[in-house]
Amino acid sequence: MLNIGCHLSASKGYLNMGKEALSINANTFQFFSRNPRGSKAKELDLKDIEEYKKLAEENNFATILAHAPYILNPCSSNEQNRILAFELMQDDLKRLEYIPNQMYNFHPGSHTGQGVEVGINQISEMLNKLLTEEQTTTVLLETMAGKGSEVGSKFEELKAIIDKVDLKEKMGVCLDTCHVNDAGYDVVNNLDGVLEEFDKVIGIKYLKAIHLNDSKNPLASHKDRHECIGEGHIGIEAFERIINHPQLKHLPFYLETPNELEGYKKEIEILRNLYK
Ligand code: FE
Ligand code: FE
Ligand code: ZN
């Protein structure tokens, strides 16, 4: 079965997201761990969490994915921002343990002029201070489009971060199809080659999730503008190959396309029909 969901608003809690997912024939979802542009987290509602767990179990949900806020930047040149990144992720990871075995995706960061090397060191240093043997959450580095001073648009950079992390078994990568297209990896004409390179550089076992987005921009544009499935430069045939690829088809897929619930429902239906 295709494990697919979309990004949902967390404002009404986990149970609400679970019900919304079911209403669009999804069996997983992504959500922001807290306000994406602010730092404040909602109070945890333990009753909501228990009710959600029951719903997820009854409906065989695949692993859900929390997305860190955009302001989290562990490799900012500003020390206050690096401290904030540490504190936000520490609090997020603590909260996520209330629902075991989630995944937590974050943008590795923007080095803001310090250089990629310094960025990679600061990102891995933060992870080494935060990750614990006991945690059940897997932390995912997202592949980035390479706009501005973003770290993580090259597989080598993600590999370098993981190499410096001690608890590698707590780490993974989330491949965003729009971002890798914009970064210059041709998943349209050379999906096998891109995955071979991923395996050679990072190791395919680290690939834990896919952000399924079409792109408003062509290959190697370094832009990061998501488009609805089939309406951008990636195109529906490529998505059919992606969701059915033997190295990918078992993974959870999360849509982050410019849609409301109704649009997501249509995309999920199209993709489920294309899944073999
Ligand atoms: Fe993201
Ligand atoms: Fe993404
Ligand atoms: Zn994006």
- pLDDT (tens digit per residue) in 156-197: 999 999 999 999 999 999 999 999 999 999 999 999 999 999
Give the integer Cα–Cα distance in Å for 103 and 98: 13
Cβ neighbours for 87, distance < 8 A, ≥ 6 positions apart: none
Task: From the candidates 20, 92, 142, 157, give the one annotated as an active-site residue.
Answer: 142
Q: How high does pLDDT run on average in the chain?
A: 97
The answer to whether 52 and 28 have CB atoms below 8 angstroms apart is no
Q: How close is the Cα of 251 to the center of ligand 2, in Å?
A: 15
Cβ neighbours for 105, distance < 8 A, ≥ 6 positions apart: 30, 65, 66, 67, 68, 140, 141, 142, 174, 209
Q: How close is the Cα of 67 to the center of ligand 1, in Å?
A: 7
Tell me whether residue 176 is one of the annotated catalytic residues. Answer: yes
The answer to whether 18 and 50 have CB atoms below 8 angstroms apart is no
Q: How close is the Cα of 222 to the center of ligand 1, in Å?
A: 14
Tell the CATH topology of 4-274: TIM Barrel (3.20.20)
Tell me whether residue 256 is one of the annotated catalytic residues. Answer: yes
Tell me whether residue 142 is one of the annotated catalytic residues. Answer: yes
The answer to whether 229 and 243 have CB atoms below 8 angstroms apart is no
Helical spans, DSSP H, in 59-115:
79-96
Closest ligand to Cα 32: 1
Provide the residue-wise pLDDT of the chain in tens; the chain has 276 residues.
999 999 999 999 999 999 999 999 999 999 999 988 877 888 899 999 999 999 999 999 999 999 999 999 999 999 999 999 999 999 999 999 999 999 999 999 999 999 999 999 999 999 999 999 999 999 999 999 999 999 999 999 999 999 999 999 999 999 999 999 999 999 999 999 999 999 999 999 999 999 999 999 999 999 999 999 999 999 999 999 999 999 999 999 999 999 999 999 999 999 999 999
Tell me whether residue 179 is one of the annotated catalytic residues. Answer: yes
Give the integer Cα–Cα distance in Å for 4 and 26: 6
Tokens of 22: 């079911």
Q: How close is the Cα of 89 to the center of ligand 3, in Å?
A: 20
Domain boundaries, given as residue ranges, for the chain? 4-274
